Structure 1
Amino acid sequence: MPTALVIGHSAKASLRRLGPWFNGQGLDYELRFGGDGLPDSLDGYAALVVLGGAPLPYEDDKFPWLPATRALTREALDRHIPMLGICLGGQLLAYVGGGTVEHRKFKPEHGITPITLDAAAADDPLFSVLPATFPMTENHVDHITSLPDEAVLLAHSDRSPVQGFRLGPNAWGLQFHPEISAANIAEWDADDIRDVEADGFPWAEVLDRDSRYDEENTRPSELFARRFADIVLGR
């Protein structure tokens, strides 16, 4: 079965629900925690998926495997290997391509957030499966503040001008988290809850909103994941 390399920035990182959806389409994956070391190249892999994490994409002192992650991102772009970057992964893709990522340039986003497609999404191989507006989970204080010149903007939110974009024919960056369900958010630890509330998001309201929109969030997330797998598999 073709295999995607998945890079996590925490020893507890996971594809969560994306994993079974990928498998259901015939795409396997290998999850590697960057701190344990990363492959020298994408040889043998059908795709690259980079998950979220705490640092900015250039804070190598905090996450010393970021240079290797950027190199694999650059390889995916140069070789047109399908890539999906989620949150920090999307920021890394933008940064590698020549865009900018800044800390708290805009207001933070936590929990379920309405996402709106831009006009170019209608013709995009991946984003065209999504409805015009849809709720997705957010959890970030860093933002993509400018895209690479050749990038195509695909989605935005009220607080983030870049929620989704494509770079090249088949590399996509996301600010939102299609892998996170309401059940996942309910498991966030005390440190996460403290940070969310410090940014002005009462935890009880976050949980209530995520629960109310869980079904409306799950449907487009599954469509999105299965479509990415199909793209990887050449369908």
Structure 2
Amino acid sequence: MARRILVLEHMDHATPDAGLAHLRHRGAQAQVVQAWRGEALPALDGVDGMLVMGGPQMVTDIAEQPWMQAEIALMRRALERGLPMMCICLGAQMLAHALGATVAPDPEGRIAWRFHPLRALPAAGNPIPDGLTVLSGNFQGFSTPRGAERLATTDGPWANQAFRIGPALATQFHPEVTRPILDLWQAELAPHVHKPGASTVAQQDADFARFDPALKAWYRAELDRRFGLI
């Protein structure tokens, strides 16, 4: 029977991101919900896992975002049920918030809009390989929640790059970005390219060509493991 994966999206793309495309390739039943557009969140009965994606929204605006409050409540219920979750960027920040951690902008005014290497931290069965070079596109970051295990760090803003708690994995970075999505983001984020923590478009292009194949290989394998797709 096909695995049913609930995918919470927070932005529109002309083409599926790499994670959604991989779920479909593996034959999973990917139920995409955009609560930020007013779509109703389903019950978790029959759901085998959740993929909670990134987006331009800010957790610090949660008081004015009822849909975000509802998603965080759903994520708490998923944790209580022991459902596997993969939470990316905004998704990771929402999970951190759900667990009582702090989500905030960098106090020095930096952003993260670049490729950068990770340092894996000592943790049994750490799913983050040391030296994995990843893409970040962040204006806020999280502290590691109490009870969670910090998995990876990096230089620059937001040293907390990944944590896990139970069957949930949260990453500050973006493994799902395809070349068309990167093109879109480069256009949308053009006003921020000169801010501290951002690299040039030319550098991003070169880094995408160099580092993205390994990042995608890791991401697809992690989705397979986390959601039991193989």
Length-normalised TM-score, structure 1: 0.84
Q: Is the 8 A contact 1:56 1:103 kept in 2?
A: no
Partner of 1:173: 170
Which runs of 5 or more structure 2 residues have no equivalent in the other structure? none
Distance 2:228 2:198 in 1: 40
Q: 1:206 to 1:115 in 2, by over 3 A?
A: farther
Q: Where do residues 1-235 of structure 1 align in structure 2 (5 Å cutoff)?
A: 1-12=2-13, 16-34=17-35, 35-105=37-107, 107-120=110-123, 122-124=124-126, 127=127, 130-144=128-142, 146-159=143-156, 160-167=158-165, 169-188=166-185, 190-199=187-196, 201=198, 205-233=200-228
Q: Secondary structure of the residue that 1:186 maps to in structure 2? A: helix
Distance 1:13 1:47 in 2: 24
Q: 1:54 to 1:216 in 2, by over 3 A?
A: closer
What is the total number of aligned residue pairs between the two structures? Answer: 226
Distance 1:181 1:40 in 2: 28
Distance 1:94 1:208 in 2: 31
Q: 1:98 to 1:85 in 2, by over 3 A?
A: same
Q: 1:83 to 1:57 in 2, by over 3 A?
A: same
Q: Is the 8 A contact 1:21 1:226 kept in 2?
A: no
Q: 1:131 to 1:147 in 2, by over 3 A?
A: closer
Q: CA deviation at 1:218?
A: 2.2
Q: CA deviation at 1:163?
A: 0.6
Q: Percent identity?
A: 25
Deviations 1:156-210 (A, max 9, x none): 111222111001x2111110000013443223364421123345635xx333334
Which runs of 5 or more structure 1 residues have no equivalent in the other structure? none
Q: Is the 8 A contact 1:26 1:229 kept in 2?
A: no
Q: 1:13 to 1:82 in 2, by over 3 A?
A: farther
Deviations 1:59-92 (A, max 9, x none): 2355331011101110111001011111010011
Q: 1:200 to 1:233 in 2, by over 3 A?
A: closer
Length-normalised TM-score, structure 2: 0.86
Q: Is the 8 A contact 1:181 1:214 kept in 2?
A: no
Deviations 1:125-181 (A, max 9, x none): xx1xx431121111112111x2222100011111222111001x2111110000013
Q: CA deviation at 1:56?
A: 2.8
Distance 2:30 2:113 in 1: 28
